[in-house]
């Protein structure tokens, strides 16, 4: 009897469904195509991405943790354009400090990846003769004016902990934005 009742209810439900229509529908798009204003502090928009420049000088692990406190991660440069935009921002601020990125070769020495997404470093912004894993201790990647005579910001590997005085500022990158549209009949 119970089974029959359930069947009748299901039949009724499907009958009802057959004459219904969606009262709302959703759509997810990447980015913020309508430029809806959102509160992004403390992140700064640069070239379509959102970044936070941590001013305390810390080891790579602490830098990563500090980004996680902000629901972000150390920066990942998917393209030369992204690197150049962030570097240009630092130049515009006159900031000559070293900054940690999410790049590492901790898993396999010599195989440099972004820790955020495990993708290999494809950008071509290494300083000359880097990465060199100097002393066999350099497994975390920072950006900065690597040599005394450097005239541009580039990438270099340095010890991840405070070994050899590698305490740096850091760049956090906020997650990508997505726009959810809801269309409603009313
Ligand atoms: Ca990025
Ligand atoms: Ca190095």
Residue 167 belongs to what domain range?
A: 30-178
Q: Residue 28, exposed/middle/buried by CB under 10 A (0-12, 13-18, 19+)?
A: exposed
Distance 95 CA to ligand 1 centre (A): 20
Q: pLDDT (tens digit, 9 = 90+) per residue, 71-98?
A: 999 999 999 999 999 999 999 999 999 9
Ligand 1 centroid–CA 23 distance in Å is 38
Predicted local confidence at residue 125, as pLDDT: 98
Containing H/E element for 60? helix 60-69
Low-confidence ranges of the chain (pLDDT < 50): none
Count of the separate structural domains present in the chain: 1
Burial of 59 (0-12, 13-18, 19+ CB in 10 A): buried
Q: Is residue 11 part of a domain?
A: no
Provide the whole-model pTM.
0.84
C-alpha to C-alpha distance for 104 and 144, rounded to whole angstroms = 16
Q: CB count, 10 Å around CB of 76?
A: 19
For residue 44, give the CATH number of its domain.
3.10.100.10
In a domain, 109, yes or no: yes
Task: Give the number of whichever ligand sits closest to the CA of residue 81.
Answer: 1
Find the 142 Cα to ligand 1 centroid distance in Å.
14
Cβ(86)–Cβ(75) below 8 Å: yes
pLDDT at 14: 53
Q: How many angstroms does the Cα of residue 78 sit away from the middle of ligand 1?
A: 5
Residue 184: inside a domain: no
Note the pLDDT of residue 38.
86
């Amino acid at each position: 009897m119970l089974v029959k009742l359930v069947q009748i209810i299901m039949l009724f439900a499907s009958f009802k469904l057959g004459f219904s229509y969606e009262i709302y529908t959703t759509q997810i798009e990447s980015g913020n195509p309508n430029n809806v204003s959102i509160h992004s502090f403390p992140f700064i928009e640069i070239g379509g991405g959102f970044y936070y420049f941590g001013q305390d000088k810390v080891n790579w692990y602490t830098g990563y943790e500090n980004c996680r406190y902000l629901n972000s991660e150390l920066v990942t440069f998917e393209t030369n354009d992204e690197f150049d935009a962030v570097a240009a921002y630092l130049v515009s601020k006159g900031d000559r400090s070293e900054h940690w990125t999410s790049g590492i070769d901790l898993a396999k020495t010599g195989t440099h990846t972004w820790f955020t997404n495990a993708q290999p470093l494809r950008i071509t912004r290494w300083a000359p003769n880097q990465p060199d894993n100097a002393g066999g201790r350099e497994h975390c990647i920072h950006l900065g004016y690597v040599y005394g005579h450097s005239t541009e910001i580039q990438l270099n590997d340095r010890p991840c902990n405070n070994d050899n005085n590698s305490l740096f500022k850091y760049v956090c990158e906020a997650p990508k934005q997505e726009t959810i549209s809801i269309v409603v009949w009313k």
